[in-house]
Amino acid sequence: MFSKGTGMLDDFEDIAHEIGISIPNDLGRLIALSAESNREASAVPLATIYDFAFIDAGDSERMLEDWLGRNKQRGAEYTLLPFGQSGGGDAYCFVVFEDGDEGIAKVMHDQEDATLEFPSVSHWITREYIKQCENLEDLACEPPEGIERMKSEVALVGAVLLPEHRELLHGLLDADVVTRPYQAGRKAQVRRVRSLISQEASEALYQSLMSDDPIEFVVVLEWED
């Protein structure tokens, strides 16, 4: 039986040991914070981030058994440890390659191609909050309250973030709310939304947060086993 409280990090570390990797300190702190926050009903890390939720160790183990484990990823030169997911079933994973490269990647449930984009949890978290600030309409509450919630969450994960990322997010969350053009995808209609940053500026920051040499890898889809 897996824990949903403060013992959740221990459970994740047990899983990591079983699959032959070590959880980095920043990811360990984030997992522990998510467990403690849920237990205490206080601010929850990344709660305002659109379409993301932490999973517990039991869900992580099931995803490894059903889809993402090395025995399912035939011939893979990497090991995945899922720690979050989207509403559609995409997995947020800590990835470790056999040559030592590691970081955070989003593995889509319906696409074979994946990319190790972020070299650390701090880079990934910072990108998620910047992207959320492109469109404040996606918040579950009105922007003034939503911005305050984001500030509380960033303060909560402060120990996980690199100093330059903390400073960047603090400055962004103190910016004025402006109505700007926003396009959710290439084929989506352009609409005007309240935001703290333009999509163009967000994209520039995204590029600065990505790994210098992003690693593309192929994932065997769940139903192709």
Are both 205 and 216 inside the same structural domain? no
Are both 148 and 70 inside the same structural domain? no
Are both 110 and 21 inside the same structural domain? yes
In percent, how much of the chain has pLDDT > 70? 93
Are both 52 and 112 inside the same structural domain? yes
What is the band of 40 on the pLDDT scale with cuts at 50, 70, 90?
low
**Residue the block writes with tokens 């993402």:** 68
The residue among 6 and 202 whose pLDDT is bigger is: 202
The residue among 113 and 42 whose pLDDT is bigger is: 113
Are both 105 and 189 inside the same structural domain? no
pLDDT in tens, 97-107: 999 999 999 99
Domain total in the chain: 2
Given this model, what pLDDT does residue 1 score?
A: 44
Q: Is residue 2 part of a domain?
A: no
Q: Is residue 3 part of a domain?
A: no
Task: List all residues 6 or more positions away from 75 whose beta carbon is below 8 Å from its beta carbon.
Answer: none
Are both 71 and 46 inside the same structural domain? yes
17 lies in which domain range?
A: 8-120+212-224
Are both 107 and 200 inside the same structural domain? no
pLDDT at 118 over 60: yes
Given this model, what pLDDT does residue 130 score?
A: 98
Task: List all residues 6 or more positions away from 225 whose beta carbon is below 8 Å from its beta carbon.
Answer: 67, 72
Average pLDDT, the chain: 92
Are both 145 and 199 inside the same structural domain? yes
Are both 25 and 112 inside the same structural domain? yes
Average pLDDT over residues 185-207: 96
What is the C-alpha to C-alpha distance for residues 222 and 103, in angstroms, rounded to an integer?
Answer: 22
Given this model, what pLDDT does residue 36 score?
A: 81
Q: Is residue 66 part of a domain?
A: yes
What is the band of 2 on the pLDDT scale with cuts at 50, 70, 90?
very low
Given this model, what pLDDT does residue 25 score?
A: 96
Q: Is residue 193 part of a domain?
A: yes
pLDDT at 158 over 70: yes
Q: Is residue 174 part of a domain?
A: yes
Are both 197 and 218 inside the same structural domain? no
Q: Is residue 1 part of a domain?
A: no
Q: Among 120, 92, 95, 117, which Cα is nearest to 107's? A: 92
| Radius of gyration of the CA atoms of the chain, in A | 18
Are both 28 and 93 inside the same structural domain? yes
Q: Which residues of 54-75 are buried (b: 16+ CB within 10 A; e: fewer)?
A: bbbbebbbebbeebbbeebbee
Are both 189 and 216 inside the same structural domain? no
Average pLDDT over residues 198-203: 97
pLDDT at 176 over 50: yes
Average pLDDT over residues 118-147: 95
Given this model, what pLDDT does residue 207 score?
A: 96
